[in-house]
Amino acid sequence: MLGIIGGTSLLFARLPPLEKKTVATPYGKAEVYCGDFALLLRHQHSLPPHRINYPACLAALALLGVDRIVAFGSTGSLQPAIPPGSVVIPTDYLSVTDIPSIHECSIGHVRPELDADLVRTLGDLVPEARVGGVYAQTRGPRIETVAEVRALARVADIVGMTVASEATLALELGMRFAAVCTVDNYANGLGDETLTYEHILATSRANAQRTERILENIVEHLA
């Protein structure tokens, strides 16, 4: 089964009619919208990135039979060549903060990766996307400092607060994972505007129809 994870980038998109279920997991409960595919909105109950119960969210998808996940992530660009309004399908990720794990009482290691076959498929389904690049995850909820952006730009292309945690937990639970990242702003210090959360929301709202089309195409071909 296909799993879709969405957040800010899906906030203003029209979503398919699905049945909401509350799924109990060993890590807590999570709400998932179910039908021909499973849709999980990561900011449940308006939780900011650093308070999301990622183990419960990813475990809920696994318990529902999800075997591959496409996550939609709202990001900032770390590179002048990737302007706001772009779509990026990353091929690797890094984190400068803790990533949760389901292995709290046992030793377990996974080889972190974004699924190459799923990335290639998404590249075909989202032809306007830039395929390739590194996603950097920070803790949030605050925006990165100018100094942090300069440092991250040496090793990454876009920055967000969620996808690395989701990708790692998906692998621990045996699910393939890839991401479609909308670029909603230049990271702090790269653009001329004063970066605020309202600015990020405005860009997401302006691109809502495109995001709907991308989601519909992915569901049509992968669900």
- Secondary structure class of 186 (helix, strand, coil): strand
130, pLDDT greater than 80: yes
143-191 confidence digits (pLDDT tens) = 999 999 999 999 999 999 999 999 999 999 999 999 999 999 999 999 8
194, pLDDT greater than 90: no
Query: Rounded CA gap, 176 and 188, in Å?
Result: 32
51-60 confidence digits (pLDDT tens) = 999 999 999 9
Q: Which residue has the higher pLDDT, 204 or 25?
A: 25
What's the whole-number average pLDDT of the chain?
92
CB 159 within 8 A of CB 75: yes
Helix axes 116-125, 208-222, angle to 10 degrees: 120
What is the mean pLDDT of the segment spanning 102-110? 70
Query: Rounded CA gap, 87 and 25, in Å?
Result: 33
CATH topology of domain 2-222: Rossmann fold (3.40.50)
For the chain, give every domain's residue range. 2-222
81-104 confidence digits (pLDDT tens) = 999 999 999 999 999 988 898 877
Helix axes 208-222, 197-206, angle to 10 degrees: 60
